[in-house]
């Protein structure tokens, strides 16, 4: 079975619920160009219009067939996580999303699975919602943004959430988010090329240096887009670590050099070319790679299996990366 673990979907039922009762969730919809709709959070954030395929399930089956993918593991849209919402509103919004997404996944259990969202603005509420998503909605893991309202994951007080993921024995998928484009990356697609990979990298560094990985040695984390810059700059991280270890900050240094944590993460294969994918495999091993596409956004990898076939993998590695490892990790 070929499993795409990085695909996005927004249940139309969740959008319809906002239209019926915006006050309960702290979100309302506004019209945008060409008949599209935008989600607007009451705390002031207005995100991009919903891409039509993000809401379309029927088109998804055709795309999956073209991609030679048998199952998708669905994440929501990171722009919609709304970590700037008051915690109670954020928890209600996550509950609505998890229930509606879980319903879709259960209706199409042979082809879809879901990842639960959680209100990271309150770690205790996030832990409870992850548990609800897994135990009551059938989620096979969690998905979170790489920053909590511009705070890197390792700098946010999330130990209760990490502990819940460990207790539930489910992986957490870290996806970059930047709902409002910074001026320097607002053109030429640099938001996706530069800002997203930076977001992931900054949080990986914070997770390592803050000791999260040391405190939770069995925590399973999946990084988007081949891990951002981390796998390719891990030894630059090491240089900073050596400086820290030799200074007064030695007591605050992680237990190992940052490059030693490369195999603590899983990585999707969204690198678009066999060369960087082959290098990533050399660094972390084929057992840490998971097939991904980023469907349905414009940066989608349209031929994910072809990418693997061109990467010089053995038959066993191809089977492992295209679905075997995901089946094990997500207990499918």
2-35 residue pLDDT tens: 999 999 999 999 999 998 988 888 899 998 877 7
In a domain, 252, yes or no: yes
In a domain, 35, yes or no: no
**CATH assignment at residue 193:** 3.20.20.140
pLDDT of residue 70: 98
pLDDT of residue 3: 98
Angle at 140 between CA 234 and CA 309, to 5 degrees: 55
pLDDT of residue 179: 67
Which residues, other chains included, contact 139 with Cβ-Cβ below 8 Å and sequence gap of 6+?
A: 98, 102, 105, 113, 114, 115, 116, 133, 170
Angle at 43 between CA 159 and CA 295, to 5 degrees: 70
Q: Quote the CA–CA distance of 83 and 90 in Å, as a whole number.
A: 7
Q: Answer positive or negative: Cα dihedral of 43, 48, 51, 54.
A: negative
Q: Answer positive or negative: Cα dihedral of 323, 324, 325, 331.
A: positive
pLDDT of residue 250: 63
In a domain, 45, yes or no: no
pLDDT of residue 36: 80
pLDDT in single tens digits along all 332 residues of the chain: 999 999 999 999 999 999 898 888 889 999 887 778 899 999 988 888 898 999 999 999 999 999 999 999 999 999 999 999 999 999 999 999 999 999 999 999 999 999 999 999 999 999 999 999 999 999 999 999 999 999 999 999 999 999 999 999 999 999 999 867 777 888 888 888 899 999 999 999 999 999 999 999 999 999 999 999 999 999 999 999 998 877 756 667 788 999 999 999 999 999 999 999 999 999 999 999 999 999 999 999 999 999 999 999 999 999 999 999 999 999 99
Q: How many domains does the chain have?
A: 1
**pLDDT tens string 255-277:** 899 999 999 999 999 999 999 99
For residue 160, the enclosing domain spans 3-22+55-329
Phi, psi at 230, each rounded to 5°:
-55, -50
In a domain, 201, yes or no: yes
In a domain, 39, yes or no: no
List of E strands, 106-150: 112-114, 142-145, 147-148
Pairing of strands 221-223, 147-148: unpaired
In a domain, 116, yes or no: yes
In a domain, 27, yes or no: no
Q: Enter the pTM of the model.
A: 0.96
């Amino acid at each position: 079975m070929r499993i795409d673990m990085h695909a996005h979907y927004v249940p139309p039922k969740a959008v319809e619920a906002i239209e019926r009762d915006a006050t309960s969730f702290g979100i309302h919809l506004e019209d945008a160009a060409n008949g599209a709709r935008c989600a607007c959070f009451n705390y002031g954030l207005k995100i991009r219009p919903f891409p039509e395929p993000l809401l379309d399930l029927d088109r998804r089956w055709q795309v999956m067939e073209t991609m030679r993918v048998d199952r998708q593991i669905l994440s929501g849209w990171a722009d919609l996580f709304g970590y700037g919402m008051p915690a109670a509103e954020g928890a209600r919004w996550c509950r609505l999303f998890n229930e509606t997404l879980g319903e879709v996944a259960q209706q199409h259990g042979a082809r879809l699975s879901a990842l639960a969202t959680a209100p990271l603005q309150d770690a205790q509420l996030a832990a409870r919602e992850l548990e609800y998503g897994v135990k009551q909605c059938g989620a096979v893991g969690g998905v979170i943004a790489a920053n909590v309202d511009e705070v890197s994951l390792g700098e946010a007080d999330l130990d209760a959430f990490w502990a819940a993921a460990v207790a539930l024995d489910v992986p957490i998928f870290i996806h970059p988010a930047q709902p409002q484009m910074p001026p320097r990356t607002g053109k030429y697609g640099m938001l996706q090329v530069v800002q997203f990979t930076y977001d992931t990298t900054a949080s990986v560094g914070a997770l390592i240096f803050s000791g999260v990985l040391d405190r939770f040695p069995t925590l399973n984390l999946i990084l988007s887009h081949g891990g951002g810059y981390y796998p390719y700059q891990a030894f630059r991280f090491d240089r900073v670590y050596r400086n820290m270890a030799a200074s007064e900050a030695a007591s605050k240094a992680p237990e190992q050099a940052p490059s030693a944590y490369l195999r603590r993460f899983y990585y999707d294969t969204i690198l678009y070319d066999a060369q960087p994918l082959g290098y990533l495999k050399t660094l972390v091993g084929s057992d840490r790679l998971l097939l991904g596409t980023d469907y349905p956004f414009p940066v989608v990898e349209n031929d994910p299996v072809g990418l693997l076939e061109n990467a010089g993998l053995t038959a066993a590695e191809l089977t492992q990366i295209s679905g075997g490892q995901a089946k094990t990790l997500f207990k499918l």
